[in-house]
Structure 1
Amino acid sequence: MGVVHHALHSLTEADALLHEGVRRIMAASSDLPGASHPLEEALRLTETQAMATLEAVENGFAEVATIRATHGGFIDANLDRIEQQFHTILASQQGQDLAGQRLKKTIHLLQAVEQRIRAADDQLGPQLDAKLPADATASPTSSTPLHGVPAYAGPSFAQDDVDALLRDLGI
């Protein structure tokens, strides 16, 4: 009997977490349209700066090659150090490029999530509103819908319990 009770409790927690997740997603959906804009702006700035840095490194390499062509052996050690710095800059820019690629993927994912939330809101919003009694929005209670999602109707959990479960899941 203890195993069944534990399993039912786990399912009840999962149900509460899913419901809380839907409520939070619907609440956050109004913030999503603007969320990708700062990321896109940061990506554009990063790409612009990366291109300027790469161009400067290429020009620096050309200047080092020109100086080396004069066969001024007394400055070869300095030129070697300058070239090493250029190689460090190039390696750093490769990391920057990788970060930019990840940022692009994050933006695309964020936009895909936004589209799906909007589609779900468009599909579910009117249906959920139609199912609510007329006085459901009159007084704010724990069953008041948040963005069209009615409050969780199962066994009660304190908000601290739900938050703790979400933290345990890394959410």
Structure 2
Amino acid sequence: MLRNLRGFADGLISLSATIGALGLLFEVVVILIDVAERYFGIPLRGAQDLSQMGMVILVFGAMALCDRLGGHIAVDIFESRFPHWLNHLANVASALLGAVIFVGIAWAVYESSKISQMLNLATNILNLPKVYFQWALSAFALVAALGMIMRALELTISGRDVREERP
């Protein structure tokens, strides 16, 4: 059952990372077009809006994969001095704390999206509705939290750390 859950979580993480990669490509294209058009004195209208919303997709889309690969910052200066059981406990606790933080981010942004939807908040130049990007950010944060919960479960049940493996 744990293997099936890991497969499901890895599928969501891959989807999230793929969308994040598309966000990166979008960012590159927007910046490239904007810089080229600025040279001719006609900057891309709304480049700032497009870049800001693209960064939401880029950063939070890749967040779950970053955790899956062990890319988050870790301070391990005392790890060699602690017993194995304490390091193991710290890994489980950090995965659970990370999950709580990302669920908190998802909840706070989702609550904020209700205000954006009610007030029809949009970006400054292109008038892109902010609510869709807030929903995307919330979904990406929940995928990151799911990955962290899965990591905590696997560490607890099997002692296996997925960050040491390639997906």
Q: Given the two structures, how large is their TM-score scaled by the length of structure 2?
A: 0.39
TM normalised by structure 1 equals 0.38
Higher relative contact order (CA 8 A, sep 6+): 1
**Larger Rg over CA atoms:** 1
